[in-house]
Structure 1
Amino acid sequence: MATSSVPPCAMYARIKTIIAEARLESGGGGGYDNSSGGGSSPASPGASESDGSSSADEFYPPDLITSEFPRHASPLSSSARDEFDFDRDCVRQFFVSSPRVLDDVHTHQQRTLLLLLPAFASPADAASQADALSHWLSGLDIAWVLDMGASGRGGGALPRRELGSRVSAWAQALGTMERLFRRLRHRELEPAQAAALGELAAASSGAMLGLAGAVAVLGSSPSTLLAALDLYAPLSETYPVLAVLFSWGPFHPVPAAAGAALAGLVETARRGGRDLGAFVRSHCTWQMPQGGEVHPCVGFWMGYLRCMLRRRVSLHLVLGGDDGESPATPLAPGAEGIHRLVAELVSCLEAALEEKAAALASPGLRQVFMLNNTHAVVRRAAGSDLRHFLPSDWLRVREERIEGLIRGYMDASWVPVVSRLDSGGGRTKQPARRRRPLIAFYTAFENACSAQRCWNVPNPALRGVLRNTVSEYVVPAYRRYLDDHPEVEAAPGHTAEELEEQLSDLFEG
């Protein structure tokens, strides 16, 4: 069987160029946030509409967006934008406010706190304390923690689609509490006021543990894992500070409950970490895109990995110990445990894509599907900090894989077309016999073009490489045939230039 006439070095150089574009477009990492935990998900610096996968979740099926990644997925998607409409004014105010404005907000909260202290003075009035606590937590937009109970028994009623936004509000409120408690604690308070402040701190921080308990009893899922990691850092850092601030001993109910909640989050996160590989496979069950386009799971999981790495300190502390104990030191750059986890999950995603490709009937379309998806995975890895957590030869191996997919596509789709020109007796003097292979070639060529116009290669650079590869293989072979048989004329509409024009319309979807 004939092979592609495109020089391997030329094809490989083009492939290396389009892979390098991801690094250039991202500026070496773009807007990726290296923070260790919490917050909204990272932008998608290495992805754009040109690779067919756009933002991290633009193609997510709505039911999976709302059930699994309500906020941990890319904030660029329409679903994420809709969910965060209520918070835009607050975010905008935060960024444009002067330090004086923010200080005024804290001053107002501090005054409110002082006004609530009498309800926690001795002798205790349970009804007054409950009303004051509700008022205090409502002012921080987290009164819903009172419905959960510190034990987390209300976890089953926690709406999963609200999980991300609730964790974010919880972390922000806990930080505000700590700052205000510290400010007041360093003021000269009357002994009764200091005691009341301690009671209010214990009641509010104890109520806050309800969310941690609720997350700990949720079923294992990707969003639960991220939520557990988001809660782990502030819980492990803030509650010891509060214990020192208010002289809570080891047997005080709040530190004891915080320790139990932390242990529950660790177990939940470890369970989710063990299940991540199964999650990758099970979340690749969406309907296959038409024309070999990028599968939705690519954006979903590559975006998820970037979100997970934003919490990599918590991830290392929670998942890093093979002996069941958390490491004593935080994650250092290049920690092998995180490297191994990222590499395994990307490989699992690639294996799932291979399984999806196997279901396609056309061998050529299978190659195009894997080409699109491999290219999308590479762009998302090369254009973000994910590349630092993958093996040093990972990009080179994928570049070679893309080259092999192009060759496989050529062998499946165009080598059989060009082979029609090699049959029919070579330089026989009978024009009728010389025309037969040409007719067979025209038929095979039109059939291939007709089918492959419906195939889609969304990325312009990759589409250009594929079109050039086809054209540089088919058109020269056709020209040689016509040159070798001057007595045979090309059929109308089938000059070499016209065939080249038809090939320029391939892969438009």
Structure 2
Amino acid sequence: MVSTVHSITISYVASQKKRKQLSSREAQAKFKGLSKKIFMDVGGSLPREVKRLNKAVYSTVMEVRAFVEEDESWAAEIPRGRGDVHRNTWLMVNCIKSMQDKARYHDTQYLRGLIDDSVLHLKELLLRKSELCSDQSLRYLFLLNNSYLVAMMVEAWSLLVEPWSKHEWRPAPECLKYMNRYLDVSWGHVQSHMPKTAFVHGSGRLQMLFCMLAPLQNWKRTASRAKFESAFHKTYQAQRFWKVPNPQLRDELRKTITERVVPGYRSYLRKHPELERGGSSSPDVLEEMLGELFEG
């Protein structure tokens, strides 16, 4: 009797385990079927959602572009800002940065294309708006400041240098182009007033003629120095409060101007010591003045 009860008990327990296993398999099968259905539903809607997102991003970018393009403050604010980075440039740069941040997690060919197109559009816009500035020196400083911000914020690759020269400052080619144009327009005429020293070779008659004309040559040298100093001070006073907000770019621009202007002036005075007592500014004074430019 006991053995019979034991057999019935074992049989019952086994049947219950089998039923549980069966129900577990059925549940797994149902879950797999439901998961597949959800995945197919989401997968089918995902392209539509991506398309909607791309459309919303494109619409927003176009609105920002239109606002920046139609803003009437460009002509007034470039001189008022003394060549500083324009607020509309910041607006576009932040818009592009936002797209770049999203592209890190949702990188699509469409989004990359929109980023590249927006950078190109901003560069062309800055070039067109800069033409509203009547002062060419200020125009190129404005282009230098704004293009440097674009290169630094959204085109960091354009400022990269080789590993062996990582401590060397190298602007992007576009920035270097605007820097050189600024230097030529602003300081080229200052350099032009410092003539090169002439050396006389030839017969005794030519040397005698040169000695007779020496007073006239000294007068011309004095006049050249006066013109040089006048041109320097005029340019300095006009640009004294212009602004270069980036410290690295500001230091490099000061250094480049100093190297273009001061050494030639210093060398000229050394070759003509009779001129050192006259004039209003020594090379050291000019160098110190240039070190104060672009603070705004």
TM more than 0.5: yes
Partner of 1:354: 127
Structure 2 residue 219 is matched with structure 1 residue 446: no
Structure 2 residue 90 is matched with structure 1 residue 299: yes
1:461 maps to a residue whose letter is Q
Q: Which has the larger radius of gyration?
A: 2
1:341 maps to a residue whose letter is L
Is the CA contact (8 Å cut-off) linking 2:137 and 2:182 kept in structure 1? yes
Partner of 2:250: 463
Provide the rounded CA distance (Å) in 1 between the counterparts of 2:194 and 2:183. 16
Residues 339, 426 of structure 1: alpha-carbon distance in 2 compared, 3 angstrom cutoff: farther
Provide the rounded CA distance (Å) in 1 between the counterparts of 2:51 and 2:102. 14
User: Paired residue for 1:502, among 270, 289, 295?
Assistant: 289
User: Paired residue for 2:142, among 369, 376, 389?
Assistant: 369
2:268 maps to a residue whose letter is Y
Superposition RMSD on alpha carbons, in Å?
Answer: 3.6
2:58 maps to a residue whose letter is G
Partner of 1:472: 259
SS at match of 2:241: coil
Provide the rounded CA distance (Å) in 1 between the counterparts of 2:160 and 2:127. 18
1:410 maps to a residue whose letter is L
Is the CA contact (8 Å cut-off) linking 2:151 and 2:158 kept in structure 1? no
Provide the rounded CA distance (Å) in 1 between the counterparts of 2:153 and 2:52. 31
User: Paired residue for 1:343, among 100, 116, 120?
Assistant: 116
Is the CA contact (8 Å cut-off) linking 2:61 and 2:95 kept in structure 1? no
Identity over aligned pairs, percent: 26
Deviations 1:398-439 (A, max 9, x none): 611222222111110111111011289888622222211111
TM-score by length of 1: 0.40
SS at match of 1:360: coil
TM-score by length of 2: 0.66
As a proportion of its length, which structure holds more helix?
Answer: 2
Q: Runs of 5+ in structure 1 lacking a partner?
A: 1-239, 245-249, 251-258, 314-329
SS at match of 2:194: helix
Q: Relative contact order, CA 8 A, sep 6+: which one is greater?
A: 1
User: Paired residue for 2:272, among 459, 468, 485?
Assistant: 485
Partner of 1:276: 61
Partner of 2:172: 399
Deviations 1:204-224 (A, max 9, x none): xxxxxxxxxxxxxxxxxxxxx
Q: Runs of 5+ in structure 2 lacking a partner?
A: 1-33, 162-169, 201-212
Is the CA contact (8 Å cut-off) linking 1:424 and 1:436 kept in structure 2? no
Is the CA contact (8 Å cut-off) linking 2:99 and 2:111 kept in structure 1? no
Is the CA contact (8 Å cut-off) linking 2:151 and 2:159 kept in structure 1? no
Residue 493 of structure 1 and its aligned partner are, at CA, apart by 4.0
Provide the rounded CA distance (Å) in 2 between the counterparts of 1:429 and 1:461. 46
Provide the rounded CA distance (Å) in 2 between the counterparts of 1:450 and 1:295. 23
